[in-house]
Each structure stands twice: as structure tokens, then as C-alpha cells.
Amino acid sequence: MSQHKISEVLEDVKKEFELANKQDSEVDARWLLAELLGCSMTELTLIQEKILSDEIYLSFMNSIQRRLAGEPLQHILGYQNFYGYDFKVNGHVLIPRCETEELVEKAISIIKEKRMKDVIDMCCGSGCIGITLLKECADIKAYGVDVSFEAISITHENGLNLNVSDRLTLYESDLFQELPKISVDMIISNPPYIPTDTIHSLSTEVKDREPSLALDGGMDGLDFYRRIVLEGKPYLKEGGYLLFEIGYDQMEAVCRLMEENDYQHVKGYKDLSGNDRMVIGHK
């Protein structure tokens, strides 16, 4: 096999991405190679003249083929960083998004201010919300709930990897159905919220590679908010908080749902990109 100098390999791969009209993903190539070499992206630029071993070269080219075929970078790497913690991900869970970090940040400040003790992460997926709360708030316990057994298995693994499994209890359940009668200080949820008939308009990488179970919010996208607002109330202590991530056009509807169900001080918040993104209220 011929020698594979890093700079030349990256140049070839760049051309492949250009040919496939995927220039935007070219930076992913550097990321994948840095990961395989166990170095940072900056370090990678300093070793451009080095020769790759055949083994690394072959697995790099394999990753590149997967990426060119439309597999998300995070599925190839096997993880996504969220709030400074690496979460294992695969096709059974939603890839954690940075908008959700903003919801988690709000939750952390409420938990600390009100000295809360326990939270339910409803529709936990990878577990990024509940597990991050456990990492950041050392005194709390969390209950993670997801309807998908595969998702719950990933949450479990992430809890173990991040050393919080002693404070994390998981339920495979359609929302509150299988939950015992507990009452908590906070319910937090990023439920599926895309209206069924707009799923086709999402990018192919999302609609073909991420689980539709985690995206599909029913005809108007609000099915899960309706149910969580109603079914969650008995699980909240008096004064307990309900925090939602929402779609950019759902603030009014979700605020109204909460107000109609007598939640107090219901308020919507924008994310850093200026889109409506969160609704928070308390019992």
C-alpha cells in the first residue's frame, strides 16, 4: 500500500466532499481523523506531514464513506458532547442539541435557587437532560422516562459512564403510565414536537437517521405537551416546576395549555438564536 501523508489524505477527502456537494461536512473529516489519532483538531494541523498507519488510514476512509453516505458525524464518532459531558448516541436516540443546553441551564438555576431534591426527565432519550442535572446538582435524584427500551438502555449506559447511576432511576414507559406514585420538585421534558406532516421537510440527515419516535409530536406537534401538562400534574409537588423545550412556533399554544391547566407564572423564553424555545411554569 502506498504511503498516506495526512495533508494529502485530507486534500483527497476534501475533493471527495466537494464532488458529493457536501463541502459543509468537510470539517467533519478532520474531526474524525483527530478522533482516530487521539489528538485535538489543533494538534492535527501540526502533524500534517506525518504518515498514517495503514490501519488508521483504512478506518478513516471507512468513516469518510459512512459520512458521505449521510450518516451523522455523531453516529460515526459514537458520542455527542452536551454541557461539557460526552453522551453515547446511536440511531435510537436524538442527538443532543445545543438549544437544549439552554433549557438545562435554566433548570440548574431553578434547582439551586429552590433547593430542589428530585426531577423527572420525561422522554429522556440519551439522558442528556437528566444526567447533566445530576452532574451539576450533586444533591438531587433523577427519574428518567422513555417509551423506547433502546433509548432507556442508552440512558442507562450514559448514567454509568458519567458516574451518576446511583442517583438515576429509569422507567421504560409511555409517559407516566408505568411510573409509581412519586412526587417531584421538577418535571423537565424535550418531547417529540414536530407535526407529523412536516417531518418530510426536515433535512435528510435528521429525518432518515434520527428516530421518528423522538421527533413526531402528532398532527399539530402538541400531543406530548397536552399529555404531560395534564398527566404530569399529580407527579409535581405543590409549587413544583414544569419545564419544556418547544418548537419555534409553539410558544403561545404551550403557554395556553399550561395556563388552562392552572400552572402559575407561565412564561416562554427564546434561545440564543432568537427563536422561541422554552416554556416554564409551576404548580
Binding site for ligand GLN (CB under 6 A): 94, 96, 100, 123-126, 128-129, 190-192, 214
CB of 61 or CB of 206, closer to ligand GLN: 206
**Alpha-carbon distance 282 to 264, whole Å?**
5
CB of 94 to ligand GLN, least distance (A): 4
CB of 116 to ligand GLN, least distance (A): 19
**Alpha-carbon distance 163 to 178, whole Å?**
25
CA distances from 252 to 176, 188, 258 (A): 25, 18, 10
CB of 44 or CB of 124, closer to ligand GLN: 124
CA-based angle 225:231:233, to the nearest 5?
100
CB of 77 to ligand GLN, least distance (A): 16
* Phi and psi angles of residue 97, each rounded to the nearest 5 degrees, phi first: -110, 155
Residue 246's Cβ-side half-sphere holds a number of Cα atoms within 13 Å equal to 29
CA nearest neighbour of 25 among 35, 34, 15, 17: 17
Residue number with the shortest CB distance to ligand GLN?
A: 125
CB of 214 to ligand GLN, least distance (A): 3
Q: Round the CA-based radius of gyration of the chain to a whole number and report it.
A: 21
CB of 25 or CB of 189, closer to ligand GLN: 189
CB of 129 or CB of 229, closer to ligand GLN: 129
CB of 272 to ligand GLN, least distance (A): 16
**Alpha-carbon distance 262 to 159, whole Å?**
34
CB of 9 or CB of 276, closer to ligand GLN: 276
CB of 33 or CB of 111, closer to ligand GLN: 111
Task: Provide the pairing of β-strand 4-5 with 276-282.
Answer: unpaired
Is residue 171 classed as helix, strand or coil in its secondary structure?
Answer: strand
CB of 142 to ligand GLN, least distance (A): 12
